[in-house]
Each structure stands twice: as C-alpha cells, then as structure tokens.
Amino acid sequence: MAGSGELFVDLVRVETRLWNAVDVRLRAEHGLRLGQYDLLTVIAGRHECRVLDLVHEVAITVGAASKAVDRLVEAGWCRRVANPADGRSSFLELTPSGVSALSGARRTYEEEIARWTSRLLSPGALEELANALRTIRAALEAEQRP
C-alpha cells in the first residue's frame, strides 16, 4: 500500500521534470512552450476540434481551454472557425504558421523525450511502462468522462 504512494510521488516528479526538460528545449529552440505544442498537437489530430475536445483530452477547465486557444490565436498558430451546425461553438484549426511551428518542433520534442525514456529503458521495460500508463489512463478517463 505504501508502495502505491511512493510510485505516485515518482510519477509526479518524473512528469514535472520531464515536462520542464522538454519545455526548456522547445522554448529555446523553437519559441514554443510545451503546453502550446500539446494543444497544437491535439487540434491538428482531430477533425473539427472544439474547445470542449481540448477540455476532455487535456483535462483542464473550459475557461482555461478557451484562454489557451486565445493565446494560440494571438500567436498566429490557430484560428476559430464558426461551426455551421452549432452557433454556440467554433472549430479550431491550425494556420499554415501553426502547422509549420508544430512540424518544426516535432523532432526536438521526440528527441528530448527519447533521451529520458526509450534511451534509458530496455525495450521490454519501455513496453511495460507504456502498457501500464495506457491502462491507468483508460480507467481514469472512463471514470471522469461519461
């Protein structure tokens, strides 16, 4: 039981430090923060992405998501397009500049992550880690989103 707590602390510490490591590199080399990269990736990967989709994917509030989108729009990487089927919402899409910011940063992003994951662990250990995280994530998401 105490082991779970310790595992959780390790999880939190790893996430914090790894996020910071990737963030520092993206900023330094591409002028892009990891939170922005994350959202751009979500938007790029989903047809007719809305603010609500960001909320569910990233687990932040509607207000936070809306403001984060505002900042992406202000940076010129994203735009809101009216949803013809629903006047309450709009679709988010990357601008050419956003697409290019994203693809420009992808290699740095994957390189830094690989440095602290796939290059540190054996293929088997990596696979187990990935499986465990996928399992836990699926369970959490099933519980937190009807």
Partner DNA sequence: GTCGGATAGATTCCTTGGAATGCACCTGGC
Partner DNA sequence: GCCAGGTGCATTCCAAGGAATCTATCCGAC
- Minimum CB distance to a second copy smaller for 85 or for 142: 142
Shortest distance, position 12 Cβ to a second copy, whole Å: 6
In the three-class reduction of DSSP (H, G, I as helix; E, B as strand; rest coil), residue 76 is classed as coil
Q: Are the CB atoms for 44 and 99 separated by under 8 Å?
A: yes
What single letter denotes the amino acid at residue 5? Answer: G
Pick what 126 binds: a second copy, DNA, none; C-beta below 5 to 8 Å, kind-dependent: a second copy
Q: Interface residues for a second copy in 13-72 (CB under 8 A)?
A: 13-22, 38, 57-59
Among 15, 73, 14, residue whose Cα is nearest residue 39: 73
Pick what 25 binds: a second copy, DNA, none; C-beta below 5 to 8 Å, kind-dependent: none
DSSP string covering 88-109: T-EEEEE-HHHHHHHHHHHHHH
Residue 57 CA from chain centroid, whole number: 8
Pick what 51 binds: DNA, a second copy, none; C-beta below 5 to 8 Å, kind-dependent: DNA
**Contacting positions for a second copy (CB under 8 A):** 1-22, 38, 57-59, 109-110, 113-114, 116-118, 120-121, 125-126, 128-137, 139-141, 143-144
